[in-house]
Amino acid sequence: MVPEITCPGCGLRMPKSDTAVYHGYFNTSPECWSVFTEVLGAEFGNAVIFGQVHQLTVDSYAVQHAGGVHPDKSVAVHLTGLHLVLGRGIRPTNVPKFLQLLVADVKTWPNFSPPSHRGRLTAFDVTCTRSMEGHMNAVRAWAGQVWKAWSEHHGAIADFVDRHLGSRVHVSEYSSS
């Protein structure tokens, strides 16, 4: 019987793999990281999926795997990404330019303590889809759950964004409406 590994970030349980490797700073298991890279591969291979949900994928994974040695800067940047898309309606393709402005402006990064439960859905749920639309819907549902899990910090994240990006995030040309 193959032993199971539980990801310390999202709780995904998977069979232990002797070939899965991870040496980064996310609070993740190598097995979960390999699932995430599968999702990234699907997105890099399809321009429509990439444009519609890739930012949500990266931000969701990063904050779902906060903790351990994962730096405050990364957590704050990725929470900002989720806030811009899910809280302010900014198109995912426009988020990177705001994150670049944020990184250039912030000198001291806040610490947002991770919630104990970070959502039931994981990157694995995205791999279970069989269509482009299914992939995008799974990412949106996953991002929504992850964002909701961080709800105790929503006000502080909004204040952080307002302080460092101000009215630049209210420009209608960047929104998805």
Model confidence over 134-159: pLDDT tens digits? Answer: 999 999 999 999 999 999 999 999 99
- Return the ∠ at Cα 137 (arms to 168 and 173), rounded to 5°: 20
Q: What is the pLDDT of residues 89-134, one digit of tens each?
A: 999 999 999 999 999 999 999 999 999 998 899 999 999 999 999 9
Polymer length in residues for the chain: 177
> Residue 71: pLDDT above 80?
yes
Please report the beta strands in the chain, taking only residues with DSSP state E, as ranges in sequence order: 4-6, 13-15
- Alpha-carbon gap, residue 23 to 135, rounded angstroms: 27
pLDDT of residue 50: 96
Q: Model confidence at 24, in pLDDT bands (50, 70, 90)? A: confident
Q: Model confidence at 160, in pLDDT bands (50, 70, 90)? A: very high
CA distances from 6 to 84, 114, 127 (A): 30, 17, 18
Q: What is the pLDDT of residues 45-66, one digit of tens each?
A: 999 999 999 999 999 999 999 9
Mean predicted lDDT score pLDDT of the chain: 93
The three-state secondary structure class of 21 is: coil
> Residue 69: pLDDT above 90?
no
pLDDT of residue 168: 74
Average pLDDT over residues 69-88: 95
> Residue 171: pLDDT above 60?
no
Tokens in use for 142?
A: 């996953």
